[in-house]
Amino acid sequence: MANTKRLVMIGNGMAGVRVIEHVLKLAPGVYDITIFGSEPHPNYNRIMLSSVLAGGTELSDIVINDWDWYRDNGIQLYAGHTVTSIDPVRRKVVSHLGIEAEYDVLLIATGSSAFMLPIPGADKEGVIGFRDIKDCQIMQEASLTYKNAVVIGGGLLGLEAARGLLNLGMDVTVVHSNAHLMNRQLDKAASAMLKRELEAQGMKFLLQKQSERIHGKKRVKSLSFADGTEIEADLVVMAVGIKPNHQLARDAGLSVNRGIIVNDFMETSHPDIYAVGECTEHRGIAYGLVAPLYEQGAVLAKRLAGVDTEGYTGSITSTKLKVSGVDVFSAGQYDEPPGTRSMKYQDELEGVYKKIVLRDDKLVGAVLFGETGDGASLFSLIRKGESVRGREKELLLGFAPGGAASSGKEDHLAELADDEVICGCNGVTKGAIAEAILTKGCNSVGAIKACTKASASCGGCKPEVEGLLKLYLGDAAAAPVKEGICGCTTLNRDEIVAEIKRMGLKTVKEVMNVLEWSQPEGCSKCRPSLNYYLGMLWPIEYKDEKESRFTNERYHANIQKDGTFSVVPRIYGGVTSPSELKKIAEVAERFEVPLVKFTGGQRLDLLGVKKEDLPRMWEELDMPSGHAYGKMLRTVKTCVGNTFCRFGTQDAMGMGIRLEKEFERMNAPAKVKLAVSGCPRNCAEATIKDFGIVAIDGGWELHVGGNGGVHVRATDLLCVVKTDDEVVEWAGAFLQLYRENATWNERTSIWVERVGLDYIKKALENAEERKALYGRIRTSIDQIADPWQEITQSRDLRKNFESLVPAQAVQN
């Protein structure tokens, strides 16, 4: 647009994108926006990395603004591009891939990096920080091979990393230089209670230890300390602090100290260049928590939009620990500095500790352990600085001494000002939540989450959100409000499927409209699930909606951390031929594939493929997709069986190939893996697969519900059959029963535990019903062609695909 200003932002993190969100609302159409992000991902919630590490959350679950958001708002995103230089004179920036962007206004939001202790051996393989998705992936991969993990740092981030590594099955020791955990947030009493609780969960601690040297040849083997002691370590995670990423600004001539120096309006020392977030230093302080960074962002957005603002004057911070089973809250001055007095309550039996710190009758600090529901109201009083004379015991205990416990929470919430932040992770105020409830019809936590993002991250503010619902809706919110499959609906999976059947709904849009979705376009959680349910219910009539599938499924390849793709052709049962291998090798050479790897599922993975090469590569391979990216049949792993092995009792390879050809292209609620072992020695690991087949003398054992991932689960024995045809029929019937009854994204291991093995056996024991289930899965699969046949056979489809691939920017 002719009258727009060019706004370029360096950094695609939480603080910077929050500024852009505000600018789009306050000054729509004023700026032509370009964003450079070093990571090949859209904007995601870094606070939730500990949940991703622990395996309970996927990257898609912590995305704040998906790829569509950038496109819908006209934002040019260069993901996977690191800006290497700023030219303040010519007003342009340049990325490491040669992309140049001129600006009228530049916003630097480069965040911070993990501080790595400068000790010998810190550069060895297996020594990392904990700041981004890549770090999570490294730790998850290490847990598959190695046992001993050491986390250096007993603060907030270190304990979250340690909990995640415990969930991955590693033996975890936390090393801390202080005598008390979280010593910057907790006093000695709360720290001691926290240590006991985490030890009970399996965490080990070495306190008052100074790390001195990391040992090992190429990879870390141990860590030694200044007192001469040593500990074995296959993985060392440093969580000892952060350092602002300010080198780019320093090289451009901006004033830099610990961080990029900014004034109260987030202006740097150079005109029209602003900075926000962890890369900055404001009044001598560099903040590392998200709430202050969002406060900075709100001020900067107003400045950029031409809206009056008093400026940013600094923040009082609060902390919540997001460790499984432990509730900790800390705010303000917790350590009783001179001139203060404190009040404490401690119940060792119930595991509850509360402490408030006062100065001149004002609340200046609080520590809560075990019961943290009053954290928001206490933090509000600390920020307000008002007198609490006469209310001290009530604040500590949650009720007035001698009286009954107050309904309390609603009273405290009613007293909060509208600009008080309820959700610190996403910077959502009480006023924003009130508006969602009173004017937008949000009557559940899920609806508020979808509308405002409150409670969408760590979930620590959910009690406050529930309290505000009760405050504003009264009796209408007294009963727990049922939450649906996502924040767009209150309907659960079974209700949605029943209504689709009853009313004969045939498209995603139709379902959302008829069932009164609160968000007419849905979200990244409900669109794929509806697409699956419709395809499962109406396999012949329903036309798969590609736009409702995830990115990897639309491109038929797995996106990698550097923005390239991984291509996995199907190799049935892991059995191939010299001519097939030669063809794969020739295609890999032709497209300059940097790495070819054998996968755990006995296939070849071509890694590092450029997006624009995908259509031609599949065309030249002329092989079916191995669907390594989809919620469908991934692999059927086999051993050599009685074809070659002297212990084999059945033809494992032949059975594996038959099953893979039988069920390839099968869509499912989650990924599905099969395996066939030719004897009870079980070399194909069939007893940790979704459906496993183990050969015995004269027949086959059929096993279900296994998982070899983060949460390992051995299979349950379903039955024993005699013939190959029975194996195929029972497999198809089981998979169809799972397809028809599991919720979206629910693995068979979880589904089997939820419904019980007896339910599955009863559903499949009747031969007629079993054959009917098998018939339905065949009908469904028969409607689906290999997706890459469509691309290679249709010029129009190929053109459509290539139109999605910009020449330079990595976009969805």
Give backbone dihedrals phi and psi of 698, rounded to 5 degrees, phi first: 80, 10
| Residues contributing to the annotated binding site | 639, 645, 679, 683
Considering only the C-alpha atoms of the chain, give the largest distance between any 2 of them, rounded to a whole number of Å. 86
Cβ-count burial of 288 within 10 angstroms (0-12 exposed, 13-18 middle, 19+ buried)?
Answer: middle
Asked whether the beta carbons of 492 and 525 are under 8 A apart, the reply is no
DSSP per position, 311-359: -------EEEEEETTEEEEEEE--S--TT-EEEEEEETTTTEEEEEEEE
Return the H-helix or E-strand segment holding 787: helix 787-793
3-state secondary structure of 24: helix
DSSP reduced 3-state for 489: strand
CB 730, CB 769: distance < 8 Å:
no
d(CA 220, CA 9): 38
**Distance separating alpha carbons of residues 387 and 324, to the nearest angstrom:** 36
SS3 string of 564-578?
A: CEEECECCHHHCCCH
Which residues touch 531 (CB under 8 Å, ≥6 apart)? 508, 544, 545, 548, 549
Residue ranges of the annotated binding site for [4Fe-4S] cluster are 639, 645, 679, 683
- Specify whether the CB–CB gap between 398 and 408 falls below 8 A: yes
Residue 88 to residue 270: CA distance in whole angstroms: 8
CA 253 to chain centre: 37
What number of other Cβ atoms are within 10 A of residue 793's Cβ? 11
Angstrom distance (rounded) from CA 351 to CA 256: 45
Decide the pairing of beta strands 230-232 and 222-225. antiparallel
CA 195 to CA 457: how far, in whole Å? 25
Say how far apart CA 516 and CA 730 lie, in whole Å: 39
The answer to whether residues 320 and 464 touch, using CB atoms and an 8 Å cutoff, is no
Amino acid at 91: R
Residues contributing to the annotated binding site for siroheme: 683
Neighbours of 460 (CB within 10 A): 21
d(CA 531, CA 539): 11
CB count in 10 Å sphere of residue 292: 22
10 Å CB burial of residue 401 (0-12, 13-18, 19+) is exposed
Residues 6+ positions from 300 with CB-CB distance below 8 Å = 19, 107, 265, 266, 274, 276
| CA separation for the pair 95, 365 (Å, rounded) | 45
DSSP reduced 3-state for 251: helix
Query: Residue 345 and residue 330: Cα distance in Å, rounded?
Result: 15
The whole-angstrom separation of Cα 256 and Cα 264 is: 16
